[in-house]
Amino acid sequence: MDIYNISIAIEGYAKAYKNLEALQKTVASIPKGDQKTGCIGEYYSYRYLQHTNPNSLLAYGSHSEKGWDIEIKSSGLRVQVKTVSAYSKTRTISPIHKGWDILHILYLNTALKPEGFWVVKDTSIFGNKNELKSRKCKKPTNPNTGSKDIPFGTNLVKQLTEIIGT
C-alpha cells in the first residue's frame, strides 16, 4: 500500500514539475530554474512588481547572479527574492547576498500560496558582511518569530494576494 501511494505521489509531482517547466520556457513572468518553490516565489514577486511599477520593464537576473533576482529596468532597482514554504520546519532563508535594493521575503503555505510577504529596503542589515546566512523567516501567525536583524515590517500579503488574484 505504501509503495503504491508513493508511486502515485511521485507521478503527480512529476506531472506538476513538467507543467511548471513548460511554462517556464514560454511565460516571461515565471523564471527558469529547478528550485520550483523559489521560482514560484519569484513569480509572485514579479507580479507584485508589475503592479507597483506598471510602466516599467522587468527582467530576471541570470542564475549566476547572487545579489538580485529581478531588475526594474526604468529605475535600475534590483530585487532579491527569498521564499520559504510551510514545509520548512525551521523556516531558514537561503543566504541573503549583497547587491539588492529591495528584498522580498515570501512565506508560502502548503498549497504554495502566499501567507507572508515582507518588503525590506534597509541594506544596512549586512553590516560589514557580504551575505547573511541562517536567517529565519517570520511565521505569519506569530509576529515574534523571524530573525531580529531583518526589519520585516508589515506583512503585505493581503496586498500581494489582491494583485495576484489568489
Closest CA to 42 of 91, 97, 102, 83: 83
What is the CATH architecture of 31-164? 3-Layer(aba) Sandwich (3.40)
The DSSP H or E segment spanning 3 is helix 2-26
For residue 32, is pLDDT > 70? yes
How does pLDDT run across 94-151, given as a tens digit for each residue? 999 999 999 999 999 999 999 999 999 999 999 999 999 999 999 999 989 999 999 9
pLDDT at 39: 95
pLDDT at 1: 61
How does pLDDT run across 67-79, given as a tens digit for each residue? 999 999 999 999 9
Asked if residue 80 lies in contact with residue 68, where contact means CB atoms within 8 angstroms, the answer is yes
pLDDT at 148: 96
Query: Taking the model in full, what pTM does it have?
Result: 0.93
Q: What are the boundaries of each domain within the chain?
A: 1-30, 31-164
Residue partners of 90: CB distance under 8 A and separation at least 6: 136
The DSSP H or E segment spanning 164 is helix 157-164
Asked if residue 108 lies in contact with residue 83, where contact means CB atoms within 8 angstroms, the answer is yes
Distance CA 124, CA 57 (A): 27
Distance CA 89, CA 5 (A): 23
How does pLDDT run across 33-83, given as a tens digit for each residue? 989 999 999 999 999 999 999 999 999 998 889 999 999 999 999 999 999
Q: Residue 166's pLDDT band (boundaries 50, 70, 90)?
A: confident
